[in-house]
Amino acid sequence: MNPIAINTSQNVNVNFTLAGVGERILAFFIDWLIKGTFIFIIYWLLRNILEYNDFTRDMDSWSVGAFLFIIMFPVYVYTLVLESLMEGQTFGKKLMKIKVVKIDGYQASFGDYLMRWILRLVDIYSNSGIVAIITMVVSKNHQRLGDIATGTAVISLKNNVNISHTILENLKEDYVPTFQQVILLSDNDVRIIKENFQKALKADDRQIITRLSNKIKDILKLEIDPRDYTERQFINIVIKDYNFYTGKDS
């Protein structure tokens, strides 16, 4: 599978694996199986409980159409609603362990999911998915038209270690935190900081360490006297403090 480097809001690159075309197609069919099950249940209820023919006998064609549109509305908005609520995943994507993300590192917005959902009409439903498959195969980041228009891509989560596992630090029982401002960070922020800090230490890359240190100070609005802590000490303290305040210890 092809890798993709996403520049995060902390201005560091994190490598992910792009979801394969086959994975995306399988996730699509899983979602359609779920929607098909819903349609079958609704059809059964209409035929056996509501006695559909008697129920709609006195309705004109517009009323019948409106009635069918309303009861089938969950099928139409299934992808849009779930991707918005589940941060880029539907049940099919979740089962396949793939997810929609912004290439620029920011969280995809409702507008992004809406545009992707609208362009499914062009990508998938107007041509049996031929356009979507072709664009995913030929585009650099396996993007269909909806992804290209919104700057998104679909990544695989299968090889990713759980975020909470990557930010754990051994803390002594008498550990005293230094920077309470670290609570402004998220698990993902600290994961990115720790991963890149460890890589920089291994490669003795002082530029990355300086960039990380400056970025953290900027986000947390901290002014640190260089005589108090080196950049390496500062980053290490931030990671440990975050573990202390969030109760993440091993």
One domain, residues 7 and 73: yes
One domain, residues 108 and 182: no
Would you state the pLDDT for residue 53?
65
One domain, residues 222 and 136: no
**pLDDT greater than 70 at residue 134:** yes
What are 167's two structure tokens? 């930010």
One domain, residues 17 and 130: yes
Would you state the pLDDT for residue 26?
96
Would you state the pLDDT for residue 248?
54
One domain, residues 58 and 114: yes
- Split into its structural domains, the chain has a count of 2
Last residue of a domain, one of 112, 135, 156: 156
One domain, residues 148 and 235: no
Q: Read off the pLDDT of residues 151-191 as tens digits, 9 standing for 90 and up.
A: 999 988 775 544 444 555 667 778 888 888 888 888 888 88
One domain, residues 149 and 197: no
Q: Stretch 116-145: mean pLDDT, rounded?
A: 90
Q: Residue with structure tokens 């002594």?
A: 172
Q: How far apart are the first and last CA of the chain?
A: 33
Would you state the pLDDT for residue 164?
46
Q: Read off the pLDDT of residues 5-35 as tens digits, 9 standing for 90 and up.
A: 665 554 555 667 889 899 999 999 999 999 9
Would you state the pLDDT for residue 93?
95
One domain, residues 86 and 169: no
Would you state the pLDDT for residue 14?
61
One domain, residues 106 and 172: no
Mean pLDDT across the chain: 84
Q: Read off the pLDDT of residues 107-126 as tens digits, 9 standing for 90 and up.
A: 788 999 999 999 999 999 88
Q: What confidence tier does 96 reach under pLDDT thresholds 50, 70, 90?
A: very high
One domain, residues 152 and 168: no
Residues 6+ apart with CB under 8 A from 77: 117
Q: Which residue range(s) make up the domain with 211?
A: 163-246
Q: Residue with structure tokens 């049996």?
A: 128
Q: Quote the percentage of the chain above a pLDDT of 90.
A: 36
State the Cα torsion 183-89-86-159 to the nearest 10°: -30
Last residue of a domain, one of 156, 180, 197: 156
One domain, residues 83 and 170: no
One domain, residues 149 and 191: no
Residues 6+ apart with CB under 8 A from 160: 16
What are 1's two structure tokens? 């599978």
Of 63-67, 144-148, 150-154, 218-222, the range with the lowest mean pLDDT is 63-67
Last residue of a domain, one of 156, 173, 193: 156
**pLDDT greater than 80 at residue 230:** yes
**pLDDT greater than 80 at residue 74:** yes
Q: Hey, is 211 helix, strand or coil? A: helix
